[in-house]
Structure 1
Amino acid sequence: MKGIIFTEFITIVESKFGLDVSQQMLDDANDSGIYTAVGSYDHRQLIKLIISLSRITNIPTSQLQQTYGRLAFPALLNSLPILDIKTDNTFSFIEKVEQHIHLEVKKLYPDATPPKFIFSNKTQSTMTMDYHSARCMGYVCMGLLEGCADYFNQSLTITMQPMNTAQSHVRFSLTLTGD
């Protein structure tokens, strides 16, 4: 997993919960907290950090992941090798992530393994998206989808349906509820 995911997570924890909670989380997870944005790290370390933060704050891990995804969207967007998005909306951008951005990320970072999105049942206001990832971070994906809708100033209702017990395959039903 790319280091920007870790650096952004720690930055968000520091800004939302303070330096003391951030340090407590790192200590509890036996983590040095030393990450570079372009480095590659084991995703299980991020899971340990999320579990540690959950224990400290009594906030469910699913909620922490979703909030992280939503808050991290702008920083991740700025780090991506993206095409012009001025004419995009939430749905067209999400499709662009799979069709262009994930491909470019793989070119830049051959060791990267981004999730796979498969789209179906798309209309002007609805979309079904299947998320496939061995990292099983569907709640982070849900938060990123929310952050994307926020960025494009659109209201989005999302239902999330795990398709297997590991949650390596999650189906998202997206509905734009207003513009």
Structure 2
Amino acid sequence: MRDKLEKKKDKRKSKISASRKLLLKSLMLAKAVEELDQENAEKEEEKSRYLAERVPPIRTSGLSFAQLQELCRELHDKIEIVDEERYDIEAKVIHNTREIQDLNMKVFDLRGKFKRPNLRRVRVSADAMLRALLGSKHKVSMDLRANLKSVKKEDKEDKERPVGDWRKNVEAMSGMEGRKKMFDAAKATPAQ
């Protein structure tokens, strides 16, 4: 039996040593860094290719002063158009981010901000329940308690104890053992 438990423990143990795990982690990290560098290089290459298509190289050699001025004016016009587009897009982005933040706040307010209280049992009569469900259409009253049997509980203690004058036992119940008389006597003496 003990041999079986030891074999199970051996099976559970990792077959890879700690140094081997560390080596594999370092190799995975190196591969990830290599792929990240390759991805960045591809992005830069794509960016340069896109710019080469959109913006042809400017040939300024052999142009006169007037032609250079005209070229500068064209470039300024294109820059203004691009700036306007950039400004419009930026304004749309700011508007959208504000709208997203507002919607997130509304969702946060509706969902997670308030702790939901534990529900408690509420006693509601049948009439009140029908009024809540049917509204003003409810005119029939259901008195469910009228059908119940009435049971009277008899107090045995009340029947056994005779009703008497409570003033008779004041001294006995006070526990003062005659001190009440002394107190009353002391009160009566200064009044004379």
More strand by share: 1
Q: Which has the higher contact order (CA 8 A, sep 6+)?
A: 1
TM-score by shorter chain over 0.5: no
Q: Which has the larger radius of gyration?
A: 2
Bucket of the pairwise TM-score, normalised by the shorter protein: under 0.3
Structure-1-length-normalised TM-score: 0.18
- TM-score, scaled relative to structure 2: 0.17
Q: More helix by proportion, 1 or 2?
A: 2
